[in-house]
C-alpha cells in the first residue's frame, strides 16, 4: 500500500513478466528467436524486441497498462535444459543484466533470480546472493531440468535455501521431456501443459517453503494452492483467440 494524501493506494504488481538477454537469445533462446520471426504475421514480430527491452519503452507500456511493478524473470526455457557449466555461466549473465535494470528503475522492477538447477549447490548460493545482496524476491525455475523434477532429492539444496531465506520459488512451465511428449501427445495436439504436481514429498519435506506457479498453469502451490477456477480466457490475449485467428488465416489462404 502507498499513501496519496490521506488515501491508501493499492499498487498493481505483476509476476508473469519476462525478459531476454543477448546471450540467452544466442543460446537456449535461439529457437524462440526463430519462432518469433516465423510468426511475425500473427503479431509476434515485436516479441524479441519487447523481451529484450528493460528501459523506458517497457516503463511506458507499464504506465499505459496501469502496472506499478513488474517482478521479472528470464523467459522460458531459461537455463534448465543446459549442462551445469553452461547454465552457471548464463545464469550470472542473466542475473547481472536484471540487476542493472533494477538499479535504474528501483521502484518499477523487481526480480526472480535465474537458477542453474543442473548444479543445485551453486543454484542455492546464487539464490542467496541475489536475495541478500540485490533484494530479489525469490527464484525462477522453468519446469524440469533435463527430465528431472523438483521432487528429486537432487534439487533439495535449492528448496532448503529458499526455505531458509523465506522466499518463494516461481515455477514456470516448459515443454515436457521428449519421452513424455511421445507417450502423451504422439498423434495428438500438443499443448503447453507440462506441470508435474510436486506437492508430495517436496511439500512434506519443506512445509515452510513457498513455491508458486504462473497464472497460465492449472495448479499453483503454497498460499494459492488448488486448481484455477477457470481455464484459459477467451479474450483477445488468450491462446484460444490466437489459435482461432490462425485457423481463420489458414482457411482464408486455402480458399484463395
**Ranges of each domain in the chain:** 10-228
Q: Cβ–Cβ contacts within 10 Å for residue 236, how many?
A: 8
Higher pLDDT among residues 135 and 219, named by residue: 135
For 183, how many CA atoms within 13 A lie in the half-sphere containing its CB?
A: 6
Could you list the beta-strand ranges (E) of the chain: 2-4, 7-9, 13-19, 69-74, 109-114, 138-142, 169-172, 219-220, 226-227
Choose between 185 and 182: higher pLDDT. Answer: 182
Residue 139 CA, distance from chain mean position:
10
pLDDT at 192: 41
CATH code matching the domain that covers 10-228, chosen among 1.10.3720.10, 1.10.10.10, 3.20.20.140, 3.40.50.150: 3.20.20.140
Query: Could you tell me the pTM of the whole model?
Result: 0.72
Averaged pLDDT of the chain:
78
pLDDT at site 252: 44
The whole-number pLDDT of residue 243 equals 42
Amino acid at each position: 500500500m502507498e499513501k496519496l494524501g490521506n488515501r491508501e493506494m493499492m499498487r498493481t504488481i505483476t509476476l508473469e513478466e519476462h525478459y531476454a538477454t543477448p546471450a540467452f537469445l544466442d543460446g537456449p533462446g535461439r529457437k524462440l528467436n526463430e519462432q518469433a520471426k516465423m510468426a511475425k504475421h500473427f503479431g509476434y514480430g515485436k516479441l524479441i524486441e519487447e523481451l529484450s527491452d528493460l528501459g523506458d519503452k517497457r516503463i511506458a507500456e507499464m504506465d499505459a497498462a496501469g502496472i506499478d511493478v513488474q517482478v521479472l524473470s528470464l523467459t522460458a526455457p531459461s537455463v534448465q535444459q543446459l549442462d551445469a557449466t553452461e547454465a552457471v555461466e548464463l545464469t550470472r549473465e542473466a542475473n547481472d543484466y536484471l540487476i542493472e535494470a533494477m538499479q535504474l528503475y528501483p521502484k518499477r522492477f523487481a526480480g526472480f533470480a535465474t537458477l542453474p538447477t543442473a548444479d543445485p549447490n551453486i543454484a542455492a548460493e546464487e539464490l542467496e546472493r541475489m536475495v541478500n545482496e540485490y533484494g530479489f524476491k525469490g527464484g525462477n525455475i522453468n519446469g524440469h531440468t533435463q527430465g528431472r523434477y523438483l521432487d528429486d532429492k537432487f534439487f533439495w539444496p535449492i528448496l532448503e535455501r529458499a526455505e531458509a531465506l523465506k522466499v518463494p520459488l516461481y515455477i514456470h512451465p516448459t515443454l515436457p521431456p521428449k519421452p513424455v511428449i511421445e507417450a502423451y501427445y504422439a498423434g495428438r495436439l500438443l499443448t503447453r501443459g507440462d506441470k508435474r504436481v510436486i506437492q508430495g514429498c517436496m511439500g512434506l519435506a519443506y512445509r515452510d517453503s513457498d513455491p508458486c506457479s504462473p497464472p497460465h498453469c492449472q495448479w499453483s502451490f503454497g498460499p494459492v494452492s488448488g486448481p484455477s477456477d477457470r481455464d484459459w480466457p477467451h479474450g483477445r490475449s488468450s491462446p484460444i483467440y490466437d489459435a482461432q485467428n490462425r485457423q481463420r488465416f489458414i482457411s482464408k489462404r486455402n480458399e484463395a
